A and B are shown apart, each in its own frame.
Chain A
Amino acid sequence: MDGQSFLMLVYIFVLAIFVGFELITKVPPTLHTPLMSGSNAISGITIVGALLSAGLEEFTISTILGLSAVIFAMINVVGGYLVTDRMLKMFKKK
């Protein structure tokens, strides 16, 4: 990776942080727990990297690490979304 493409990634990172700040400040305190578990599920996006590691042609140490990463990330993703849905289902208006 050269300096130029690294800088592009930093750009995207910084701009996304700002988008995040804008979005999250509008979430009411009532929803802070589901926000936390729901955003936590999003951080399981690492699954993409895990899949690329676990699907290598040759079986190496990278594959083992990748497989473990798939399991970890998938627990994060499935657990996070399901538990958030369970909570949000309960929020009812009078």
Chain B
Amino acid sequence: MDLIIQLTYLVASVFFIFGLKMLGSPKTARKGNMYSALGMLLAIVVTLFDKHIINYEWIIIGLVVGSAIGSTFALRVQMTGMPQMVGLLNGFGGGASVLVALSEYYKIAPDIPATTGTTIIISILIGSVTFTGSLIAFGKLQGIVTGKVVKYPMQHPINAILLLAVIAIGVFIVINPGSSDILLGVVGVALVLGVLLVLPIGGADMPVAVSLLNSYSGLAAASTGFVLQNNMLIIAGALVGASGIILTLIMCRGMNRSLMNVVLGGWASAGAEGPAADSAAPKGDVKSVDAEELAMILDSVSSVIIVPGYGMAVAQAQHAVRDLANTLEKKGVKVRYAIHPVAGRMPGHMNVLLAEAQVPYDELIALEDINDDFPNTDVVIVIGANDVVNPAARHDQSSPIYGMPILNADYAKTVVINKRSLNVGYAGIDNELFFYPNTLMYFGDAKDAMGKLNSELKEL
């Protein structure tokens, strides 16, 4: 039976790999996810035949309760709430790793070889940080915990001391495996560390934080694999760990910041000094338009690019945007969407929202593929985005966003910016694009504004 179990684990690992491979294209992605789920099902079912499993009552209770909670979460969550949902699920994965490591410790203590002891400590450390870190990320995205950058004195020394404390206690336990009370000290300190690591990270940096926690949740699963000497867990965990790291790096590149800078809460120091930044505001005339004028402009154009940002998600305006695009397309206008890598609160956030509003995915174009098309575009409509279209990133070396890849919206013949006010974006800096001669400000809540524009346009 052992051999069959091990072989099935191998099959499950292959299913995970194929599942991820099929996520490489929107056409096969859904099937890929099902393969991956099938691999998981195989792994669970075959494990139930393991000779170490004697009692099934607790297992059944656990499976039923966990499935009920998980499916309730998954079916209830709105697409706009997806970032916090993923954040929360990461946390449960990390939490499970801690619990399994602890359980394993109590099962075999006090005769724990040094290698196993070390893997248990590592598993507890990564799992705990993932657990509380994800809960804080969830809280920030849900608005329970402040989305602002939190600074407290001695931030980095405190984190370094906590990490050293975990290592010191860990080494002590590896040498004296019987000291189970002290093990809980490792759990406690690591849990606090998770809170303190994520708390300073600001709201718009959440794509990085969530990606990083995603990676941690994979590493936590892999570390559990080391504890249990289970190859499948190590493979699956490593795949997720790699995935999270790649997304993290893509997000960092999208902001032209180093991982350290984001994790340590660096950039947003500019945001924290909002009023000071205002004094250096570029002065100039702002031209604003109303729905009627804008509809007339749009009636005579041939190409439009829509640039969505987090503001669109907040206003739940994705359906209104789609309706507007439909009207434009009926009038023969070519409509596409330019998606900045860090638009929204998690990687791919805008794509999911627009897919929900039934925008075909081939109209959603990534920054590097659409940036050269802006000069040949009649009108760009920026909805609830700000820093990602700020030309200062290109030329103003003193700007905190200098060097960040931006969408070249300003190169279009006309730029329409829908915002509720002239307020600064996340980076806390003014956007000179608002004052450009080819820019028109269209003030108002994204959903109302797009709805009004659409009905004006239909009447023409």
Contact = CB atoms under 8 A, between A and B. Distances in A.
A42 B220 contact: no
B57 to A, nearest CB: 9
Contacts of A17: 238, 241-242
Interface in A1-36: 1-3, 5-6, 9, 12-14, 16-21, 23-36
Contacts of B362: 93-94
A54 B58 contact: yes
Given A1-B229, A39-B20, A44 B107 contact: no
B375 to A, nearest CB: 23
B224 interface: yes
Contact of B95 (A2, A6, A72): A72
Contacts of A67: 58-59, 61-62
B255 interface: no
Interface string B212-245: 0010011011101111111111111111111110
A52 B40 contact: no
Nearest to A87: B352
Interface of A is mostly: helix
Contacts of B360: 92-94
A23 B92 contact: no
Contacts of B228: 48-49, 52
B307 to A, nearest CB: 15
Interface residues of A, number: 85
Interface stretch (B98-106, B168-176, B443-451): B98-106
Given A20-B239, A37-B89, A49-B227, A74 B67 contact: yes
A20 B113 CA distance: 31
Contacts of B25: 28
B270 interface: no
B221 A45 contact: yes
Contacts of B23: 27, 31, 34-35, 38
Interface stretch (B285-293, B341-349, B434-442, B452-460): B341-349
Contacts of A16: 234-235, 238-239, 242
Contacts of A46: 93, 96-97, 100, 220-221, 224, 233
B70 A74 contact: yes
Interface stretch (B47-55, B158-166, B405-413): B47-55
B52 A13 contact: no
A3 B115 contact: yes
B24 A27 contact: yes
Interface in A25-81: 25-57, 59-63, 65-81
Interface of A: 1-3, 5-6, 9, 12-14, 16-21, 23-57, 59-63, 65-94
